[in-house]
């Protein structure tokens, strides 16, 4: 079949690669001049004028990202070369926090909790008791349960140094309004998902090089096509297939952001027969109803700066907005380059940057020069309790994929990749 993929982000490229493996001919349309979507490389400059490759946001992967790792290998990327694998570590600059040993699951989690620094035995017992209850309950809870509801029996120390950082990094939504069920799913597949599932996989290459660029090269080598700088604003049904920019296709995978997809499909529905227009409009209405959270990444530099770990947790509040800092010098980048991540960020760029630099001075003892602050205002959907997410099947021959479509995971790279794989497999079933 001739398949059009609209959007060359991680979901779109995963769909294109999987469809090609199944024997279909894939053509990718991307409005931007580069692949990768919201996880792509950016060009920056160090204070001395040296060019440096940054990312539009500092991302992490975990060992449970099985589909992402599989597809990376498929397109010729060696995960062991481009990702630094570490046992799950949530340590703060003062050494307090959680650090799991490289043991089989769940022994690693038990040992990490037992040896957590800065925790009393009451803190540790509260987490062990809660985790046992979550496991006995099959990692399931009522749909309207928030992460805060789920964790009411935990001590303030555990909430502040483990639950809150994990929740905001995984779901990009604060615990008081984040989905308890999605959080439990993440815990199940990471902390209780087998040896290595909870490992941190920190990129040692830019995000474009991790998968999307190699996927585009692989796809073209297999006879597929990638059209950059080519916008698709509307699609037209034609017989049993579709027209995309005047070209006929048997099927379409729409793999742009939810807001772009909702607008384009609502526009396309106006010229479609009612039997096709009605489901397109219903899907677009659901997608349009999603709310969003921002993520900010503050890149800063100080000559000779080096953290005790490649990634450290930071004590965060309104005045100290960053939850994590990454030492890009330990991840293949130039020495002294740090990336501060502010999940569920609020406020204007300049104020945010100033607060992060003050936070770095107070918590790390570093006087940093700001390089670039990237704010993705619609980085992820708000992963709230009972959220209704749009499905993958829209109309005959028309599918949607992205980190926001229906699925068990929050807006992550793995969620995006799995959605792309799923629609390509559904096409062949």
User: Can you tell me the distance from the alpha carbon of 255 to that of 38, in angstroms, rounded to the nearest whole number?
Assistant: 12
Over the stretch 406-423, which tens digit does the pLDDT of each residue have?
999 999 999 999 999 999
57-90: b (≥16 Cβ within 10 Å) or e: bbbbbbbbbebbbebbebbebebeebbbebbbbb
What pLDDT does residue 382 have? Answer: 96
What pLDDT does residue 279 have? Answer: 97
pLDDT above 90: percentage of residues in the chain: 93
Helix locations, 78-231, DSSP H: 79-82, 107-114, 121-136, 147-150, 156-158, 164-171, 180-190, 207-210, 212-221
Torsion of CA 185, 188, 191, 197, to 10 degrees: -90
The average pLDDT across 252-260 equals 97
User: Can you tell me the distance from the alpha carbon of 400 to that of 252, in angstroms, rounded to the nearest whole number?
Assistant: 8
When pLDDT is cut at 50, 70 and 90, the band that residue 293 belongs to is very high
For the record, the structure tokens of 274 come out as 């009612």
Indicate the CATH number for domain 2-35+207-290+387-428: 3.50.50.60
Using DSSP, state whether 182 is helix, strand or coil. Answer: helix
When pLDDT is cut at 50, 70 and 90, the band that residue 106 belongs to is confident
- Stated as kind and residue range, the H or E segment containing 243 is strand 241-244
The average pLDDT across 293-304 equals 96
Torsion of CA 60, 63, 64, 66, to 10 degrees: 100
The average pLDDT across 369-392 equals 95
Average pLDDT, the chain: 95
User: Can you tell me the distance from the alpha carbon of 295 to that of 76, in angstroms, rounded to the nearest whole number?
Assistant: 30
pTM equals: 0.95
When pLDDT is cut at 50, 70 and 90, the band that residue 42 belongs to is confident
The average pLDDT across 29-57 equals 91
């Amino acid at each position: 079949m001739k398949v059009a993929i609209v959007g060359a982000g991680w979901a779109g490229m995963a769909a294109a690669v999987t469809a090609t493996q199944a024997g279909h001919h894939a053509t990718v349309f991307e409005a931007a001049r580069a692949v990768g979507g919201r996880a792509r490389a950016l060009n920056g400059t160090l204070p001395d004028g040296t060019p440096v490759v940054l990312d539009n946001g500092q991302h992490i992967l975990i060992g449970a990202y099985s589909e992402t790792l599989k597809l990376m290998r498929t397109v010729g990327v060696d995960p062991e070369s481009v990702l630094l694998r570490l046992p799950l570590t949530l340590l703060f600059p003062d050494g307090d926090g959680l650090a799991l040993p490289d043991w089989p699951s769940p022994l690693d989690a038990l040992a990490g909790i037992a040896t957590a620094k800065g925790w009393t035995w009451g803190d540790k017992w509260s987490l062990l008791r809660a985790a046992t209850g979550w496991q006995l309950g099959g990692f399931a809870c009522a749909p309207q349960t928030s992460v805060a509801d789920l964790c009411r029996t935990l001590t303030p120390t555990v909430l502040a140094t483990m639950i809150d950082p994990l929740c905001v990094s995984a779901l990009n939504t604060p615990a008081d309004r984040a989905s308890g069920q999605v959080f439990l799913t993440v815990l199940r597949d990471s902390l209780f998902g087998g040896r290595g599932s909870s490992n941190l996989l920190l990129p040692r290459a830019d995000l474009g090089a991790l998968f999307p660029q190699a996927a585009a090269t692989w796809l073209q080598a297999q006879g597929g096509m990638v059209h950059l700088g080519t916008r698709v604003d509307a699609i037209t049904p034609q017989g049993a297939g579709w027209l995309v920019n005047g070209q006929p296709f048997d099927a379409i995978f729409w793999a742009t952001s939810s807001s772009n997809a909702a607008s384009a499909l609502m526009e396309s529905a106006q010229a479609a027969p009612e039997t096709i227009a009605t489901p397109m409009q219903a899907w677009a209405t659901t997608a349009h109803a999603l709310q969003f959270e921002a993520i900010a990444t503050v890149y800063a530099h100080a000559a000779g700066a080096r953290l005790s770990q490649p990634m450290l947790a930071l004590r965060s509040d309104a005045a100290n907005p960053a939850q994590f800092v990454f030492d890009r010098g330990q991840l293949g980048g130039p020495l002294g380059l740090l990336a501060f991540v502010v999940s569920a960020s609020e406020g204007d760029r300049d104020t945010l940057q100033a607060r992060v630099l003050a936070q770095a001075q107070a918590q790390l003892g570093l006087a940093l020069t700001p390089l670039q602050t990237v704010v993705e205002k619609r980085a992820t959907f708000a992963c709230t309790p009972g959220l209704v997410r749009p499905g993958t099947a829209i109309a005959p021959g028309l599918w949607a994929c992205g980190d926001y479509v229906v699925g068990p995971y929050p807006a992550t790279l793995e969620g995006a990749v799995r959605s792309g794989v799923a629609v390509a497999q559904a096409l062949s079933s």
